[in-house]
Amino acid sequence: MSEDTHKRLNYLFMPYAMRAVDKLRQKKGRFAHYTSASVALQIIDKKIVWMRNAVLMNDFSEIQHGQTCLLSSWHDDDAGGRLRILLDRLKSGLDKEVAQQFDSRIYDRRVQSYITSVSLHGGRALDEDKYGRLSMWRAYGGKTNVALIMKSDPFVTESNALNAFTSPVKYCDKEGFKADFVSFVKGLEESFDVLQKVGSDEVLKYLIWAFHFAVVSTKHPGFEEEDEWRVIHSPTLFPSERILFDIENVDGVPQHVYKLELKNYPDEGLVGATLPELLDEIIIGPTESPWPIYEALVTKLKENHVENAENKVRLSDIPLRR
């Protein structure tokens, strides 16, 4: 398959994600990872980011909400009905193959989805570049929260070096999901000649892939202010020898954790992922102990060869009382 065909299929099967990636690239946007000062120090020192199971995220309906939205659209005559007709035109019984494969991978979606979450940084009415986001300060990091502000380039680089994939979160209910699903099906209908050219096997593969990431990247609209993007690793579907597996005890809950090294693989197109290249700055959130945290972070940045460390760490002056 040519690179142009592969790119066109990405836009056909994942239009929402690809448009979001294009917009991010054009704006040279940045991401914020809100966490505790102790976790930030660990990331800086070990140059590793943890990927935790989606069922342990702050939205207890993770995965299930996306699954409910997708199934609702699949069983809707105006959405999934049109898609099933299109698939059957391409190959008799292809719609049943899609349903069978999707159903057989419910374990991979619900139990074997590991995520690192970041928020799109800046661009709101309040100057997030100066203060950070109040709702995130309240939700993450406890009494010593910080935001690691990172360049977005390595997140949206086209590379399979890690088999971890960046996806924007779609915030919607079943009706909002259906509207996008109908638009998605229309795009496939208008490009039926392309689907015929690549064949039913490729269409099946792309559709299952698109459904998987749609489920894992759809959240309840009440979380919309988070502007979340996700780095997703599904080890049973896309195994990787470069993402390290471990068992950690987090808040008394022993759990599987996958660990993503901040490392470049230039021969495979992944660059800009090392700590000195990736980290733009650190904002220390509302806390009673800002200066000890500042000094510790600056020291660790210097030890790990980050230039101009003193000016990369600063304080948010939001007067939040814990």
Per-residue pLDDT, averaged over 146-175, amounts to 95
Model confidence over 84-108: pLDDT tens digits?
999 999 999 999 999 999 999 998 8
Stronger pLDDT, 169 or 320, i.e. the higher one = 169
Q: Residue 122's CB: how many other CB atoms inside 10 A?
A: 17
Would you call 256 exposed, middle or buried from its count of C-beta atoms within 10 A (0-12, 13-18, 19+)? middle
Q: Which of 57-66, 262-271, 289-298 has the lowest mean pLDDT?
A: 57-66
Stronger pLDDT, 155 or 54, i.e. the higher one = 155
Report the C-alpha gap between 222 and 59 in whole angstroms. Answer: 10
Q: Which two tokens stand for residue 134?
A: 């109040």
Q: Which two tokens stand for residue 187?
A: 């795009």
**Per-residue pLDDT at 55:** 83
Query: Does residue 57 register a pLDDT over 90?
Result: no
Per-residue pLDDT, averaged over 172-187, amounts to 97
* Adjacent-strand bridge partners of 314: 283
**In sequence order, what DSSP letters do the residues of 281-302 get, joined into one string?**
EEEE-S-S-HHHHHHHHHHHHH
Report the C-alpha gap between 60 and 64 in whole angstroms. Answer: 9
**Per-residue pLDDT at 142:** 81
Contact in structure between 169 and 51 (CB atoms under 8 Å): no
Q: Inter-axis angle of helices 82-90 and 94-104, to 10 degrees?
A: 110
Reduced DSSP (H G I as helix, E B as strand, rest coil) percent helix, strand, coil of the chain, to 5? 50, 20, 25
Backbone angles phi, psi at 11, to 5 degrees: -70, -30
Q: Residue 44's CB: how many other CB atoms inside 10 A?
A: 21
Query: Does residue 228 register a pLDDT over 90?
Result: yes
Model confidence over 193-221: pLDDT tens digits?
999 999 999 999 999 999 999 999 999 99
How many degrees, rounded to 5, is the angle at CA 162 between CA 150 and CA 27? 35
Contact in structure between 98 and 207 (CB atoms under 8 Å): yes
Report the C-alpha gap between 205 and 211 in whole angstroms. Answer: 10
Q: Residue 245's CB: how many other CB atoms inside 10 A?
A: 12
Query: Does residue 150 register a pLDDT over 90?
Result: yes
Q: Find, among 165, 209, 198, the residue nearest to 5 by Cα.
A: 198
Query: Does residue 125 register a pLDDT over 60?
Result: no
